[in-house]
């Protein structure tokens, strides 16, 4: 392996900083320089904060030098998805409607990242308001997949995943509403985790779908993700939906998994997420099956379980999420912050609001607002939103029944590898299928992680492990075990990016 800073994983960098082999300033500078060199090609960042990151790095170095007890990731820089609010740093949710908005406060998870003395490199690209599976719906241009710059990096958190895959950041924060951490991780060969809903504060995470949104880590490997998970997790009194319970010991679980022993662990293969669906590409299925074989070799028991309601999960998700979004996005009206359009002194407020939203929102956001408005409107709410919430109960029951028989559930993360730009823009439902395997965990609320499991026609494939609510540790353990069979890791073999 090379000795380049940017090739190292976060845990390794943290140890180097703690033990004086590197400074945070050196590490942070290396990643900032990498961003300068290749982000012209990748387009992962919407905003880079060189000055702020270096200032934080100097403080981290001072803390280490002073012998302060520092967090396990002190000094390691991080990229933050631009749907997470950062005080003094532009936050746009990749939407024109928030162009130029500088938040006066930090999200709780950002406060925790700062308290852990992790320099924030910048804000990463996403599908506008986290609605999409390709990052093509960003109002600020597209992000390329480092594995093939003609392809999408997944979405909505394509910027965070691409930043890690292209070694512009060792770690990133994403948010996962229907798969927006896991699917981009899968298609970029990175590790991504959606923690248990409520175990990571949503305060300061710009809402897409309140009952589903979950911030979580993106990294090169399971241990790095687990370390970041422990930095940002934990109860927050500012989020009424935050679970007030101890954070599962995910770092310990990742280390345990890395020993490669899964004896005594029973894994459930969900019929409906593999055999039941013809959506998955053959290469994906093949890599996934190879992953299963590896897990068996490590001592895991495999059992087939049926979760019949999962076939309806995607449809339920595409009613619940837009319904909540239609309400959450009502606040973008050009009155208190952000864009205002059409205020010519002649037009009345209602028209100015409508024009502002017309100009400020992109087509996918408008589509989902309309869909959500429809699902909630008088005469339809029971048939659409209400029915979707009942199906959500069925999905939860299926998960609960499954976890009586098995310790974790496994599936491919996403039915297909990175597609080409524009490939699915004509067929929305085909695009929505990208979330087919990830949405059940969002509806249920339990953790889901995506770990790279190999390539299909040269493109990364992700393997998903889902655990019970607050059972994030078992998901990390299984994923880390599978990771231990992957030599070398995809994160280490990603193609070199040509700078522009």
Partner 1 sequence: MSTISREEVAHLARLARLEVTDEELDAFAGQLDAVLESMKALGEVDTEGVQPSSHAVPLVNVFREDRPQPSLPREAVLDGGPDTAEGRFRVPRILDEEV
Partner 2 sequence: MTRLNTYDAAMAAYEPVLGIETHIELDTNTKMFCGCSTVFGAEPNTQVCPVCLALPGALPVANKAAVEATIKIGLALNCSIAEWTRFARKNYFYPDMPKNFQTSQHEEPLCEDGFVDVVVDGESHRIEIERVHLEEDTGKTLHVGGAAGRIHGATESLVDYNRAGIPLVEIVTRPVPGTGALAPEVARAYAAELRDIVRSLGVSDVRMEQGSMRCDVNVSLNRPGEEWGTRTETKNVNSLRSVERSVRYEIRRQSALLDAGDKILQETRHFHEATGETSPGRSKEEATDYRYFPEPDLAVMEPSRAWVEELRATLPEPPRKRRERLQAAWALGDKEMQSVVNADAVELIEATIAAGSSASGAVKWWLGELSRRANESGVELDALDIAPSQVAELQGMVDDGRLNDKLARQVIDGVLSGEGGPAEVAAARGLEVVSDTGALEAAVDEAIAANPDAADKIRGGKHAAAGALIGAVMKSTKGQADAGTVRRIILDKLS
Contact positions vs partner 2 (CB under 8 A): 84-85, 91, 93, 98, 101, 103-105, 107, 202-207, 209-211, 237-241, 323-324, 326-327, 330-333, 335-337, 349-350, 353, 373, 376-378, 381, 385
Question: How many other CB atoms are there within 10 angstroms of residue 263's CB atom?
Answer: 8
- Does residue 306 interact with partner 1 by CB under 8 A? no
Strand pairing partners for 206?
none
Strand pairing partners for 233?
200
Instruction: Give, rounded to a whole angstrom, the gap between the first and last alpha carbons of the chain.
Output: 25
Q: State how far the Cα of 116 lies from the Cα of 75, in Å rounded to an integer.
A: 8
- Does residue 355 interact with partner 1 by CB under 8 A? yes
Q: Is 47 helix (H, G, I), strand (E, B) or coil?
A: strand
- Does residue 321 interact with partner 1 by CB under 8 A? no
Q: Rule CB under 8 A: choose which of 351, 400, 457, 498 binds partner 1.
A: 351
We find the least distance from the C-beta atom of residue 338 to partner 2, in angstroms, to be 8
Nearest partner of 418 among 479, 494, 315, judged by Cα:
494
Among this protein's residues, is 96 annotated catalytic?
Answer: no
Window of 117-125, 344-352, 412-420, 449-457 that interacts with partner 1 by CB under 8 A? 344-352
We find the least distance from the C-beta atom of residue 268 to partner 1, in angstroms, to be 20
Q: Name residues contacting partner 1, limited to 443-462 (CB under 8 A).
A: 443-445
Q: Name residues contacting partner 1, limited to 74-103 (CB under 8 A).
A: 101-102
Among this protein's residues, is 450 annotated catalytic?
Answer: no
- Does residue 485 interact with partner 1 by CB under 8 A? no
Q: Rule CB under 8 A: choose which of 36, 40, 99, 105 binds partner 1.
A: 105
Among this protein's residues, is 81 annotated catalytic?
Answer: yes
Q: Is 3 helix (H, G, I), strand (E, B) or coil?
A: coil
Of 180, 277, 326, 411, catalytic: 180
Question: How many other CB atoms are there within 10 angstroms of residue 267's CB atom?
Answer: 21
* Alpha carbon 65 to its chain's center: 33
Question: Residue 60 in contact with residue 26, Cβ under 8 Å?
Answer: no
We find the least distance from the C-beta atom of residue 468 to partner 1, in angstroms, to be 11
We find the least distance from the C-beta atom of residue 131 to partner 1, in angstroms, to be 13
For partner 2, the closer of residues 337 and 421 by Cβ is 337
Structure tokens at 264: 């005594």
- Does residue 21 interact with partner 1 by CB under 8 A? no
Q: State residue 184 phi and psi, 5-degree precision.
A: -60, -40
Q: Which does 394 bind (CB under 5 to 8 A by kind): partner 1, partner 2, none?
A: partner 1
Window of 54-62, 119-127, 273-281, 372-380 that interacts with partner 1 by CB under 8 A? 372-380
Give the chain's radius of gyration (CA, Å): 21
Q: Is 331 helix (H, G, I), strand (E, B) or coil?
A: helix
Cβ within 8 Å of residue 263, ≥6 positions away: 298, 299, 300
Q: Which does 445 bind (CB under 5 to 8 A by kind): partner 1, partner 2, none?
A: partner 1
Q: Which does 323 bind (CB under 5 to 8 A by kind): partner 2, partner 1, none?
A: partner 2
For partner 1, the closer of residues 259 and 393 by Cβ is 393
Question: How many other CB atoms are there within 10 angstroms of residue 234's CB atom?
Answer: 18
**CB burial of residue 423 (10 Å; 0-12, 13-18, 19+):** middle
Window of 153-161, 255-263, 332-340, 486-494 that interacts with partner 1 by CB under 8 A? 332-340
Q: State how far the Cα of 319 lies from the Cα of 36, in Å rounded to an integer.
A: 41
Residues annotated as part of the active site: 81, 156, 180
């Amino acid at each position: 392996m090379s000795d380049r800073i940017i090739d190292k994983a976060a845990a390794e960098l943290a140890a180097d900083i703690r033990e004086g082999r590197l400074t945070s300033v050196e590490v942070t500078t290396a990643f900032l320089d990498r961003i300068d060199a290749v982000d012209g090609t990748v387009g992962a960042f919407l905003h880079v904060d060189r000055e702020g990151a270096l200032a934080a790095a100097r403080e981290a170095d001072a803390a280490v030098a002073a012998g302060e007890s520092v967090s396990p990731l002190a000094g390691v820089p991080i990229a933050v998805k631009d749907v997470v609010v950062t005080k003094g740093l532009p936050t746009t949710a990749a939407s024109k409607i928030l162009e130029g908005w500088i938040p006066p406060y930090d999200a709780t998870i950002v406060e925790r990242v700062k308290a852990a003395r992790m320099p924030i490199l910048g804000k990463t690209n996403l599908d506008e308001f986290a609605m999409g599976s390709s990052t093509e719906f960003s109002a600020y241009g597209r992000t390329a997949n480092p594995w093939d710059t003609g392809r999408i990096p997944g979405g909505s958190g394509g910027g965070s995943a691409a930043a890690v895959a292209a070694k512009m950041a060792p770690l990133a924060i994403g948010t996962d509403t229907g798969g927006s951490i896991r699917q981009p991780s899968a298609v970029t060969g990175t590790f991504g985790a959606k923690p248990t809903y409520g175990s990571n504060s949503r305060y300061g995470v710009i809402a897409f779908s309140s009952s589903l949104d979950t911030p979580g880590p993106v990294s090169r490997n399971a241990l790095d993700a687990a370390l970041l998970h422990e930095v940002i997790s934990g109860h927050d009194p500012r989020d009424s939906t935050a679970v007030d319970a101890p954070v599962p010991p995910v770092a310990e679980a990742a280390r345990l998994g890395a020993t490669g022993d899964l004896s005594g662990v029973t894994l459930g293969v969900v019929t409906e997420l593999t055999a039941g669906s013809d959506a998955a590409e053959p290469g994906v299925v093949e890599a996934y099956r190879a992953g299963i074989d590896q897990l068996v070799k490590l001592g895991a028991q495999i059992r087939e379980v049926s979760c019949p309601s999962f076939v309806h999960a995607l449809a339920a998700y595409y009613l619940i999420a837009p319904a909540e979004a239609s309400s959450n996005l009502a606040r973008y009206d050009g009155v208190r912050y952000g864009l205002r359009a059409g205020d010519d002194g002649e037009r009345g407020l209602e028209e100015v609001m409508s024009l502002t939203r017309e100009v400020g929102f992109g087509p996918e956001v408008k589509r989902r607002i309309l869909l959500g408005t429809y699902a909630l409107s008088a005469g339809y709410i029971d048939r659409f939103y209400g029915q979707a919430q009942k199906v959500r109960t069925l999905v939860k029951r299926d998960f609960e029944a499954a976890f009586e028989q098995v310790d974790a559930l496994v599936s491919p993360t996403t039915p297909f590898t990175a597609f080409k730009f524009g490939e699915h823009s004509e067929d929305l439902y085909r695009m929505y299928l990208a979330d087919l395997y990830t949405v059940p965990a969002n509806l249920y609320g339990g953790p889901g992680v995506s770990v790279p499991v190999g390539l299909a026609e040269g493109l990364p494939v992700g393997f998903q492990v889902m655990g019970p609510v607050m059972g994030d540790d078992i998901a990390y353990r299984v994923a880390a075990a599978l990771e231990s069979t992957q030599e070398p890791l995809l994160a280490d073999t990603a193609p070199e990016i040509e700078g522009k």
